[in-house]
Every structure is written in structure tokens, then in C-alpha cells.
């Protein structure tokens, strides 16, 4: 035991930036080699001419400059424009012409890209408010939020992510990247695995089949796969190990929407359509939520720079941002609108409600959670029993707001209920509506007239149907999300795991930091597993929004421990927790599973169509960067499963740990 503790201490002493170096060095065979071969290509891409930021000192923590509420219009992120790529995309990585190393695209011939895009990661400036000077950002095509990709199921796409980030920077970003499309059904080599980062000067082609999960089970369908698996609202973002928070805070994220017969990009009647508000940027609008803090405006540099609020000992933010603006306004007509709310981080949940000019709460109808249509729509309102809409980091909540309930000339407010209210100006302006302090308002909707485009019909009472929950092929696999007391900030979150249910000892003993080359669980393609997600940290600590790449799941059960225990809740002490209809597995599918202290969630996942490396991690970006993330793999065959599980056991025994898999679990 003393030996093991010593080893763990050494491992946890690794800094986050050391981990990046380790990732590059340990991956020399697969990552560094091709990088060296192609590094001369870095001069192909001209670096931006944006002056690097002059950051303000870390102490004292500045108060952001004041702003006038509701003077900027809500920006609509521009749609990405398809373009032909040169060099043309290839199945195997085109490392001789500047592509980063990767495994060959899976199912390339089956899903030949019909549309291609290029998004260039580069420095830029962005004005977050009329009263501010421009702020240094990193963005896709230099813009924040990045361009919105609009595409359809059945139309395979390829996005070339070109890393033109500065070779040196005075910002708090790290100029390597890997881009995850959350939570597309994507082959591993295009999934933005956190260890698959590549350097500035290189590009990487991510191939998106835009097929539903279940391709192999429904080979005759068009679009391929099981249409009940459709997801509509996704977002793409930097997923660089140990630096995701910084790079996202700088602006490396954008929206990716998929359409199909059920949700086409139009509102008129068409076969299969449920006729939700659908005109992008007009009646169907992404709301990209974020928090920031800013330095004092610097007249010499001509900038109002962002203050670093991520990393060790992070101070809190004091401005709420929607689509890149502080407290914007949006003119709306008296009709229904769909808003696709996305929490882009970095670490706090938004807890939202809608209020009329009299301050009274008004309903928002939730139609989708994490991109998946709900079985039946559900109101977030004062009378529904669920008055607040929790949007954890990376979760998406699609709501329909019917502005026909208001009169022309009235204003409506989107309120944040749990975070410290933002600083607006001093003295604080009066409340815009009774019980709605100005600092709590995310944005304002101004009802300016009757509908011009005819309103959509009432929201159907049934939006979709779900595939059946498949039987699990093995005992539940348990993942534990743990805060590790006594460790340095930035290095104090871990994921434990065990293949044996109720095996509390393993969860206490096993908590290695993320290592892209260590596999903590291997699953068989085509199998279904029940996973338990548990947070044994005592209540009062963080809620962890756990994200599982690649497949959607349904929460079958949520319990809280009535006799709190840091070492594992006894079964007799677990009591069910009522879940809102946008979380309950009877009505909702998810890919972000919020797990507060002393909670246990039971979910079931099928692993289909592709193989390779995937992730389970907390999506609080500071937490995933502090190593609350592990790799799990999907393998092709029973023989490979057995070999990989034996290898995992052998590596654990070599570390002085108990084997993970029993003989009967080896496959």
C-alpha cells in the first residue's frame, strides 16, 4: 500500500502542461512523427496580423467595465459556407500535404462526403458590447461564436479544421487543438479525442457520416441508421486535453445543426414534419450562453481584454454573454420561436426562467434535451412543477417560446436564477420588471409586431418515439466522479471505475489522472452495457455534468444517498429522485448527465457502428482539465475484446492494483 500511494502521488504531481508534453512525447509514434514530417508546412498558412493581448494583472481581480443593458442586438452566428478543399480530402491522413496524423476514416466509401467545409482556427477580435473596445479572441474563422454548420441527415460532411493559431501567444490559450462535435455519432478518428491534438500549421479533416446511430442494424434505411436516434442541436468545440477551458473561453466553439423530415429547415407542411419554428436565424435561433470577466478598457492598446477566469484558483465571472454579446436584445413577432440554448461553459450551470414585463414567470416549452426531441414536450413554468431550466455545461435545451401571449411593445426577460448576478454598472440600474434584478437578466426580447411569417401550428403532444431500451450484456460498469481533497487546484478531479457492482474499494483506491494512452474500459461493438455514474463526494461539492461521447443514453434511475458516505452509499440508503421531464429517461435522451454529490445514475448504452477511442468526462471544463476524464475503447471482435481486457488487467496488476475484469468478464 505505501508503494502504491507513493506512485499515485508522483503521478498526480504532473502539471497540466506537463501532460500536454507527455501526450506529445508518448505519442511519438502516432502523433509526433507525422508532425515532424510536415512541420515545414506551417509557413503555408499566413499567421494573423491580430496584435497579441496585453493582459491585466491577476490581482487584484478587476471588476469588468460597466455596460448599458439591451443596446446591442442579439447576433446570429452566420451559417458556414460549403467549399471545395485543396488538397482534396483523403481516406488516410494526407500528412505529406499538411494534415495531422490520424487513423484512416472508417466507412469512408460508404459515407463519401457530399459537402465539405473549412473552419480555420485563428486569432481575431470581437466586441462584446457597444461600450467596450474589441477583445482578443480565438475563433473558428476568427469569429465568435464560430459559423453555424447547417446540414441534413443522409448528407455526409467533412470539416477541415485548419490550425492557424499564433505560433506564440501572450493570451492564456494553448495553440494546439482537437475539435469535438458534441455529440455526433462519429468515428473515433474524427471525434476530437482529447489526446489527438495537432499543432498550429497543420489541418485535420473530421468526417461526419450524418447518419443515425444503428447504421448496421438498419442498413436499408435512408438516411442510414435508426431515425429514432436523431439529434438536431449539436456544437463543436476545442477538446484539447488539460487546456479545454482556456481554449473555449477564448472562443473556440460553434453550433452544428442537423435537419431531417421531422425537423426540416422550413415551417410549411411536409411529410413527417412536426412543424416546429424552423427558419434559422429568424424563428429558430441558437442561444450560445457563456460567462466572462474583463480587464479595464485600455485606450493605449485599443482593447477591452478578457480576464483569465479559468485555470488554478479561478475567480468568478461577472458578465453573462449570449451569442457573443453582454445583455443583448432581440426583436420578436407575436408567434412561436425555437431557441436552441447551449451552455458553452466554462464551469457553471445556467438555471433559467422566462418573465414578462410584470415580472410574472411565463412558460417555455422544452422540446429537446441534448439535441434529442423529448417524447412529449414539457413546460418549464411556475405551475408545471419544474419552474427552472437547468442547462449544465455542454447541455443543449431547445425551447419554444410563444410570444403571441404578449402585446406589441412589451418586453420579456430571460433570467438566470442561481449564479451571482452580473455587474451591470454602478449604481445598479433599476429592475426592468418586478422581481427581476437587472444583473440576473441574460437577454431581453422586444415584441415589435404581429407575425409576418405565419405562426407554426400548436406543438404536437408527441414529438418523436424512442428506440427500445436494449438489454445489457454484462453486469453494470460503475464510474465514480471524485473530488480529491488535498490536491493542488487544477489537479484534483478524477474518475474511478469498476467492473464489479458495489465494489466501493476500487472507487476509493483507483483515481489516476487522464492519460490518453491508458484505456480504462473496453467494450464490444454491437453490445449494450448498463453504466452507473456515481459521485461519492459529500454534498456541497461540485455537481459534475458527466458527458459520454458517441452514444445517447436514457437515465433509468437517479438516487440520492440518505446517509451520506464518502466511500460509497449502501443500497439500503438510496432513495429515488424525481427528475424533470427533460431528464427522465421515460421522456428524454441525454449525453450530459448531471451528477451532484451522493447521487447515482443508472443509464444504458449501445455501442454501434464504429470502433476506437472515446471519452467519459466531466464537462465542467476546469474539471476535465484537472483530469476528470478517462478513455474507453470500442473494439471490433470478441477476440480483440478479450485481448484488450487482459491487457487492461495486466497493466493494473503492474501498477499494484486489483484486476478490473473477472474471468467471466473477459469476453
Give how far Cα 591 sits from Cα of 242, 380, 502, 615, 639, Å. 21, 20, 24, 12, 29
Closer residue to Cu ion, CB minimum distance, 278 or 618: 618
Closer residue to Cu ion, CB minimum distance, 346 or 374: 346
CB of 495 to Cu ion, least distance (A): 10
CB of 348 to Cu ion, least distance (A): 11
Q: What is the DSSP string of 251-305?
A: T-EEEEEEE-SSS-S--S--TT-------BTTTEEEEEEEEE-BPPPBTTTTB-P
Retrieve residue 580's grid coordinates: 424533470
| Residues contacting residue 244 through CB under 8 Å, at least 6 positions apart | 194, 237, 238, 621, 624, 625
Closer residue to Cu ion, CB minimum distance, 406 or 593: 593
Binding site for Cu ion (CB under 5 A): 544, 618, 620, 623
Contact present, 76 and 281 (Cβ < 8 Å): yes
| Residues contacting residue 27 through CB under 8 Å, at least 6 positions apart | 195, 516, 517
CB of 10 to Cu ion, least distance (A): 24
Closer residue to Cu ion, CB minimum distance, 411 or 419: 419
Contact present, 283 and 336 (Cβ < 8 Å): yes
Contact present, 303 and 134 (Cβ < 8 Å): yes
**3-class SS shares of the chain: helix, strand, coil, % to 5:** 15, 35, 55
Closer residue to Cu ion, CB minimum distance, 178 or 620: 620
Closest CA to 165 of 145, 138, 146: 138
Closer residue to Cu ion, CB minimum distance, 163 or 246: 246
CB of 168 to Cu ion, least distance (A): 31
CB of 537 to Cu ion, least distance (A): 10
Closer residue to Cu ion, CB minimum distance, 604 or 619: 619
Closer residue to Cu ion, CB minimum distance, 137 or 618: 618
In DSSP terms, which residues pair with 291 in a beta bridge? 320
Closer residue to Cu ion, CB minimum distance, 38 or 620: 620
Closer residue to Cu ion, CB minimum distance, 230 or 618: 618
CB of 541 to Cu ion, least distance (A): 9
Say how far apart CA 222 and CA 110 lie, in whole Å: 12
CB of 181 to Cu ion, least distance (A): 21
Closer residue to Cu ion, CB minimum distance, 246 or 255: 246
- Strands (E) located in 335-426: 336-343, 350-355, 361-362, 364-369, 372-380, 389-391, 396-402, 411-416
CB of 502 to Cu ion, least distance (A): 23
Closer residue to Cu ion, CB minimum distance, 605 or 618: 618
Q: How many CB atoms lie within 10 A of CB 567?
A: 9
CB of 488 to Cu ion, least distance (A): 16
Say how far apart CA 365 and CA 403 lie, in whole Å: 12
CB of 251 to Cu ion, least distance (A): 22
**Strand pairing of 441-450 and 411-416?**
antiparallel
Say how far apart CA 551 and CA 554 lie, in whole Å: 10
CB of 543 to Cu ion, least distance (A): 7
| Residues contacting residue 287 through CB under 8 Å, at least 6 positions apart | 322, 323, 339, 340, 341, 342, 443
Say how far apart CA 590 and CA 584 lie, in whole Å: 9
Question: Please, what sign has the CA dihedral across residues 109, 110, 116, 118?
Answer: negative
Residue 379 has, within 13 A of its CA and on its CB side, a CA count of: 12
CB of 535 to Cu ion, least distance (A): 9
Supply φ then ψ for residue 437, to 5 degrees: -60, 140
Amino acid at each position: 500500500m505505501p508503494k502504491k500511494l507513493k506512485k499515485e502521488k508522483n503521478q498526480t504531481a504532473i502539471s497540466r502542461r506537463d501532460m500536454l508534453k507527455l501526450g506529445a512525447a508518448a505519442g511519438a509514434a502516432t502523433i509526433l512523427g507525422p508532425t515532424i514530417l510536415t512541420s515545414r508546412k506551417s509557413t503555408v498558412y499566413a499567421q494573423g496580423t491580430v496584435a497579441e493581448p496585453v493582459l491585466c494583472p491577476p490581482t487584484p481581480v478587476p471588476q469588468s467595465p460597466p455596460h448599458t443593458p439591451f443596446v446591442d442586438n442579439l447576433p446570429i452566428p452566420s451559417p458556414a459556407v460549403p467549399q471545395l478543399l485543396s488538397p482534396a480530402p483523403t481516406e488516410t491522413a494526407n500528412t505529406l500535404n499538411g494534415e495531422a496524423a490520424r487513423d484512416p476514416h472508417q466507412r469512408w466509401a460508404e459515407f463519401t462526403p457530399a459537402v465539405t467545409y473549412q473552419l480555420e482556427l485563428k486569432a481575431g477580435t470581437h466586441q462584446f458590447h457597444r461600450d467596450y473596445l474589441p477583445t482578443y479572441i480565438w475563433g473558428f474563422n476568427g469569429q465568435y461564436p464560430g459559423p453555424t454548420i447547417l446540414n441534413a441527415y443522409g448528407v455526409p460532411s467533412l470539416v477541415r479544421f485548419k490550425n492557424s493559431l499564433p505560433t506564440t501567444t501572450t493570451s492564456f490559450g494553448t495553440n494546439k487543438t482537437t475539435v469535438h462535435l458534441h455529440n455526433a455519432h462519429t468515428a473515433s478518428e474524427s471525434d476530437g479525442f482529447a489526446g489527438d491534438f495537432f499543432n498550429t500549421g497543420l489541418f485535420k479533416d473530421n468526417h461526419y457520416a450524418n447518419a443515425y446511430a444503428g447504421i448496421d442494424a438498419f442498413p436499408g434505411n435512408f438516411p442510414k441508421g435508426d431515425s429514432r436516434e436523431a439529434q438536431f442541436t449539436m456544437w463543436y468545440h476545442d477538446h484539447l486535453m488539460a487546456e479545454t477551458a482556456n481554449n473555449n473561453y477564448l472562443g473556440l466553439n460553434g453550433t452544428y445543426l442537423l435537419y431531417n423530415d421531422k425537423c426540416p429547415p422550413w415551417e410549411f407542411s411536409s411529410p413527417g414534419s412536426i412543424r416546429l419554428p424552423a427558419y434559422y436565424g429568424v424563428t429558430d435561433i441558437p442561444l450560445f450562453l457563456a460567462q466572462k470577466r474583463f480587464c479595464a478598457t485600455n485606450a493605449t492598446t485599443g482593447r477591452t481584454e478578457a480576464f483569465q477566469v479559468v485555470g488554478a484558483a479561478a475567480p468568478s465571472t461577472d458578465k453573462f454573454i449570449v451569442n457573443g454579446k453582454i445583455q443583448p436584445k432581440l426583436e420578436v413577432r407575436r408567434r412561436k420561436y425555437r431557441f436552441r440554448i447551449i451552455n458553452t461553459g466554462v464551469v457553471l450551470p445556467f438555471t433559467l426562467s422566462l418573465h414578462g414585463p410584470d415580472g410574472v414567470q411565463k412558460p417555455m416549452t422544452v422540446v429537446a434535451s441534448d439535441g434529442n426531441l423529448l417524447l412529449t414536450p414539457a413546460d418549464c413554468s411556475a405551475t408545471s412543477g419544474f419552474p427552472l431550466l437547468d442547462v449544465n455545461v455542454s447541455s443543449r435545451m431547445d425551447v419554444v417560446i410563444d410570444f403571441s401571449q404578449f402585446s406589441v411593445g412589451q418586453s420579456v426577460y430571460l433570467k438566470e436564477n442561481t449564479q451571482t448576478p452580473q455587474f451591470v454598472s454602478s449604481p445598479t440600474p433599476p429592475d426592468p420588471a418586478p422581481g427581476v434584478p437587472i444583473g440576473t437578466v441574460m437577454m431581453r426580447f422586444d415584441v415589435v409586431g404581429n407575425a409576418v411569417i405565419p405562426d407554426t401550428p400548436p406543438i404536437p403532444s408527441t414529438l418523436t418515439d424512442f428506440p427500445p431500451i436494449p438489454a445489457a450484456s454484462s453486469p453494470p460498469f460503475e464510474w465514480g466522479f471524485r473530488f480529491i481533497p488535498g490536491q493542488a487546484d487544477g489537479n484534483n478531479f478524477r474518475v474511478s471505475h469498476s467492473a464489479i457492482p458495489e465494489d466501493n474499494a476500487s472507487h476509493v483506491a483507483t483515481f489516476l489522472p487522464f492519460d490518453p494512452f491508458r484505456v480504462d474500459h473496453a467494450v464490444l461493438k454491437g453490445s449494450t452495457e448498463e453504466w452507473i455514474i456515481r459521485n461519492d463526494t459529500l454534498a456541497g461539492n461540485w455537481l459534475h455534468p458527466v458527458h459520454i461521447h458517441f452514444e445517447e443514453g436514457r437515465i433509468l434511475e437517479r438516487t440520492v444517498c440518505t446517509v451520506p458516505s464518502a466511500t460509497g452509499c449502501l443500497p439500503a440508503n438510496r432513495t429515488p429522485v424525481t427528475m424533470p421531464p427533460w431528464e427522465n429517461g421515460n421522456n428524454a435522451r441525454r449525453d450530459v448527465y448531471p451528477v451532484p454529490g451522493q447521487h447515482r445514475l443508472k443509464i444504458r448504452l449501445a455501442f454501434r457502428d464504429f470502433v476506437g477511442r472515446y471519452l467519459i468526462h466531466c464537462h465542467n471544463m476546469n474539471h476535465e482539465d484537472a483530469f476528470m476524464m478517462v478513455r474507453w475503447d470500442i473494439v471490433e471482435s470478441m477476440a480483440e475484446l478479450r485481448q484488450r481486457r487482459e491487457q487492461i488487467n495486466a497493466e493494473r496488476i503492474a501498477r499494484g492494483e486489483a484486476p478490473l475484469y473477472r474471468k467471466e468478464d473477459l469476453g
